[in-house]
Amino acid sequence: MATSIRMEDDLLARLKQYAQAQDLSASAVVREALTQYLDGRQRSPFELGAALFGRHRSDDSGASSRSERRKGVVRERLRTKHDRP
């Protein structure tokens, strides 16, 4: 399939010079460059969300999770439940 792209004159000159030095067509150089670029851009789901993981907590207690302070939570609930006015 034929495709046209627009680029600055200096970039086109560099492309032609590189292609000639490598004994390749300009199309082959562009295909290879696009393949490498696009393959390098594919990131795993973990990489996509890495900046967000652990960023938000469900509470403001200073503990990073409820499980880390579970004994205190249970103790407080029992104390509240068994306290009589």
What percentage of the chain reaches a pLDDT higher than 90? 38
Is the distance from CB of 20 to CB of 27 less than 8 angstroms?
Answer: no
Query: The whole model's pTM is what?
Result: 0.49
- pLDDT tens readout for residues 4-18: 999 999 999 999 999
HEC-encoded secondary structure of 9-48: HHHHHHHHHHHHHCCCCHHHHHHHHHHHHHHHHCCCHHHH
Could you report how far apart the first and last alpha carbons of the chain are, in Å?
83
- Give the range among 37-41, 55-59, 66-70, 72-76 with minimum mean pLDDT: 55-59
Q: What is the pLDDT of residue 48?
A: 82
**Could you tell me which residue, 77 or 15, shows the higher pLDDT?**
15
* For the chain, domain boundaries: 8-47
CATH code linked to domain 8-47? 1.10.1220
